[in-house]
Every structure is written in C-alpha cells, then in structure tokens.
Amino acid sequence: MTADVRTFPDKDAVIAGAAADAAQVLAEAGNGRIDVALTGGSVGTAVTGALASLLTGFDFSRLHLWFSDERYLPTGHPDRNDTQTFKAVSGSALMHASRWHVCVGSESGLSAEDAAAALGKEVQSEAPNFALSFLGVGPDGHVASLFPGLPGVTVTGSGVIAVHDSPKPPPTRLSFTRDLINSSARVWAVLAGAEKAAAAARALGGAATPSESPSGSVAGSDETRWYLDEAAAADL
Ligand SMILES: O=C(O)[C@H](O)[C@@H](O)[C@H](O)[C@H](O)COP(=O)(O)O
C-alpha cells in the first residue's frame, strides 16, 4: 500500500499535525476498547505529549496504551521510553488510560528474552486490535527497535523480541515484531530533521529490503502515513 506522505514546515508542525490527526482518530473511534502503540524517541514522545493535551472529553477508560519498543533498563530509568513518555504527559488525563502496558524493567533480573516473552504473553492474552501505531524513524531507517542489519526485523509472528547490540543506546531493547506493528489499522511514522532524509527516501522509494530499511517494511492494514518536516522530506 502506498504511504500517505504529509509534509510540514518544521518539527513542531509535524508534532502538532500528527497529534491533531490522532486526536481525531480517537474521537471518531466507535465504542469499546481502543489500543494504541506509542513509540520512543524525541518526535514520538513529543507527539504523545501533544496528543495528551488535545484529548478533552474523551473516555480514557477505553484506552489501552502500549510501547512498540522499550529500552531494557530499570523501571523509572530516565532513558526508558515509558519514563520519558510519563514525563511528557504528566498531569494530563492520559495518565488515566485504562491501562499502560509497560514492559518489565531490567531490575526484575529477567533476561531480555524472558522480558520480551512476558510482554509477548500479555499481547497474546489481551489480543489488542491496534487502532494506531506511532513510529519514530532513525537516521539509519530503524523503527521501534528493528534496526537495519540486525536479525529482529526478519522475525515473523506477532510477538515481542529481545534486541541486542542496538547501534542506538542502550544496546539492549525489547521490540514489537514487524508483524505485530503491521497488524495495526494505522501506522504513522513521525520524523523530522535533515539527518532522516536519506532514510525516508529509502523507505518510501520502495526498493529496499526490510533488512536494509525497516521503516520501509512497516505498513498499517488500513493506512500508512508519514509525517515529515521539509528537511526530512528533502530527498523524496
Ligand atoms: O527507543 C527509541 O529510541 C525508539 O523507539 C526509536 O525507534 C525512535 O523512535 C527513533 O530512533 C527516532 O527517534 P528520534 O525521534 O529521537 O529521532
């Protein structure tokens, strides 16, 4: 499916645009439970923060929030994606979502494989039907913690994997598989900056393999959108 590419003047406009559109998706979602997969990184976290301030009059008890990847560090560590997200949304009603499905922390003593399996079990038993998955994109084209050249991006099945030797610190991470990400109705990539331009062009060019371009290998079952600033869109 062809991605719907939306270009904005700068990073702040990308964040505001994606958050406003996500607020509309949530407002228009039918009755019942809504599952959303959040992402880490500067742009994704800021989108979640902006979304939190737009959701007025929303029934938060319907909302289940997940992270499509986590940096495998102790609970509360300032570099964890959930910690950074909680900071971005603190004081907002988003904190009252029915459930934040966070990953176990490394203080548990679990190996990354066992921590990934625990979250995978939760995915299996909750059977989330993701309405929306946000993804940041790295300069190397990674999404979630699926990095070019590492084995994770080729793992099949709707599970959660352990990732070792991540080129972006920290080295140990947990990540949704590509199949789990792609089970989302909507997959929205959010990115900004000239350092992302080559990765965006490779992904949207459509010729790269998943291992060369993880971001080019993710797509929503209904819709794939890319929110980019002009700098990141420069090579499209
Ligand atoms: O744990 C993480 O860092 C991520 O989830 C990662 O996939 C991130 O979204 C991208 O690296 C983009 O990050 P930026 O928006 O900061 O460039």
Whose C-alpha lies nearest to ligand 1, atom 9? Answer: 136
**Alpha carbon 194 to its chain's center:** 20
What is the percent of the chain where pLDDT is above 90? 96
Angstrom distance (rounded) from CA 91 to CA 10: 27
Whose C-alpha lies nearest to ligand 1, atom 14? Answer: 41
pLDDT band with cut points at 50, 70 and 90 for residue 162: very high
Whose C-alpha lies nearest to ligand 1, atom 1? Answer: 40
Asked whether the predicted pLDDT for residue 131 surpasses 90, the reply is: yes
Asked whether the predicted pLDDT for residue 126 surpasses 80, the reply is: yes
Ligand 1 atom nearest residue 70's Cα = 1
Q: What is the pLDDT of residue 35?
A: 98
| β-strand partners of 224 | 187
| 144 φ/ψ sector (left φ>0, alpha ψ -120 to 50, else beta) | left
Helices and strands per DSSP (H, E), number in the chain: 6, 10
> Whole-model pTM?
0.97
Q: What is the pLDDT of residue 88?
A: 98
ipTM: 0.98
Q: What is the pLDDT of residue 38?
A: 98
Residue range 68-81: average pLDDT?
A: 98
Ligand 1 atom nearest residue 196's Cα = 17
- SS3 of 104-139: the string is CCHHHCCCHHHHHHHHHHHHHHHCCCEEEEEEECCC
Q: Is residue 34 within 8 Å of 62, Cβ to Cβ? A: yes
Residue range 148-170: average pLDDT?
A: 97
Kindly state the tokens that stand for 37.
């997969």
Q: What is the pLDDT of residue 1?
A: 63
| β-strand partners of 227 | 6, 190
Q: Is residue 191 within 8 Å of 227, Cβ to Cβ? A: yes
Q: How far is the CA of 44 from the centre of ligand 1 (A)?
A: 7
Angstrom distance (rounded) from CA 90 to CA 73: 21
Annotate 144-160 with DSSP letters as a single string.
TTB-TTSGGGG--SS-E
Annotate 4-19 with DSSP letters as a single string.
EEEEESSHHHHHHHHH
Edge-to-edge strand list for the sheet holding 223-229: 4-8, 223-229, 186-191, 130-136, 34-38, 63-67, 99-101
Kindly state the tokens that stand for 78.
């300032």
Q: How far is the CA of 222 from the centre of ligand 1 (A)?
A: 24
Q: What is the pLDDT of residue 30?
A: 85
CA angle 79, 198, 174 (to 5 degrees): 30
Q: What is the pLDDT of residue 121?
A: 98
Average pLDDT, the chain: 97
Pocket of ligand 1 (CB under 6 A): 39-44, 69, 71, 81, 136-138, 142-144, 168
pLDDT band with cut points at 50, 70 and 90 for residue 54: very high
Answer yes or no: CATH 3.40.50.1360 is held by domain 4-229: yes
Q: What is the pLDDT of residue 56?
A: 86
Of 5-19, 50-64, 130-144, 213-227, give the lowest mean pLDDT range.
50-64
